[in-house]
Amino acid sequence: MFLDEMLLLLAERTLALALHLSARGSFPKPLEEAEETELVRRMAEGDNEAANQLIEHNLRLVAHIAKKYARSGDADDLVSIGSIGLIKAVHTFRPEAGRLTTYASRCIENEIRMHLRACKKLKNTSTISDTVTRDKEGNEVQITDLMGTDRDMVPDEVALRIDGSRARRLIGEVLDEREARVIRLRYGLEDGAPHPQHEVAAQLGISRSYVSRIEKRALGKLRERMEETH
């Protein structure tokens, strides 16, 4: 079954971001308000690289929100789900809505909550709606335990699309059958819906921690092949 084109593009982009972040092991630093305003202006004028930088520099916001909802072992899953909400937020944001961080927080949280409802987990989690939606200054992005990165390390929009498409095509060539299945399920390349690690583990009959190890190994193999053939 073929995925809808937009779902496939989103899945490829999420995979490309995962590959990019796994290469450096840290999130970009948060943007100052003036930097955010300038990037939003450029994005409104059709600058795709600006949109991509807004996504990359808000990834630690995703991590922060995911931690608030995460139960044991769920953090990686929720970061992946929240990243989809962030991508949607950046591409639908309008300056009259206020700060991007506040708007993105709601979108990220909504994506995570929808995912948790689908998994019938929401009743067992705490909510951060009040904290996130009432923080007009975007203070929730001030995470000091993550390292920053230089602006020139961020790939542009076209590069992400190319990398995502290349990575998807290389899956069958570079990865073994189990690794390929894990990556396709985790990043929504089979049905357009990223599956959390515990679901993948149940499908494959292995532990969640083993799925995590397989995913990291598979991303490393894909990244290595892409670097060799770049």
Look at residue 179 and tell me if it is in a domain: no
The contacts of residue 52 (CB under 8 Å, 6+ apart) are 154, 155, 156, 157, 160
Look at residue 199 and tell me if it is in a domain: no
Q: How many structural domains is the chain composed of?
A: 1
Q: What is the pLDDT of residue 218?
A: 92
Look at residue 156 and tell me if it is in a domain: no
CA dihedral 137, 139, 141, 144 (to 10 degrees): 150
**pLDDT per residue rounded down to tens, the chain (230 residues):** 345 666 777 777 777 767 766 665 567 788 888 999 999 999 988 888 888 889 888 988 888 888 888 774 567 778 878 888 898 899 889 888 888 998 999 999 988 888 888 766 444 444 333 333 333 445 443 322 222 333 333 345 555 666 778 888 889 899 999 999 999 998 888 877 788 888 899 999 999 899 989 998 998 898 888 877 65
Look at residue 85 and tell me if it is in a domain: yes
Cα 12 to the center of its chain, rounded Å: 11
3-state secondary structure of 75: helix
**Rounded to whole angstroms, what are the CA distances from 128 to 65, 89, 98, 103?**
8, 18, 19, 14
Q: What is the pLDDT of residue 167?
A: 85
Look at residue 181 and tell me if it is in a domain: no
Look at residue 79 and tell me if it is in a domain: yes
Burial class (CB in 10 A: 0-12, 13-18, 19+), 150: exposed
- For the whole model, what pTM was predicted? 0.52
Q: What is the pLDDT of residue 121?
A: 47
The CATH number for 81's domain is: 1.10.1740.10
The contacts of residue 42 (CB under 8 Å, 6+ apart) are 49, 50
Residues of the domain holding 40: 27-148
Contact yes or no for 22/219 (Cβ under 8 A)? yes
Look at residue 62 and tell me if it is in a domain: yes
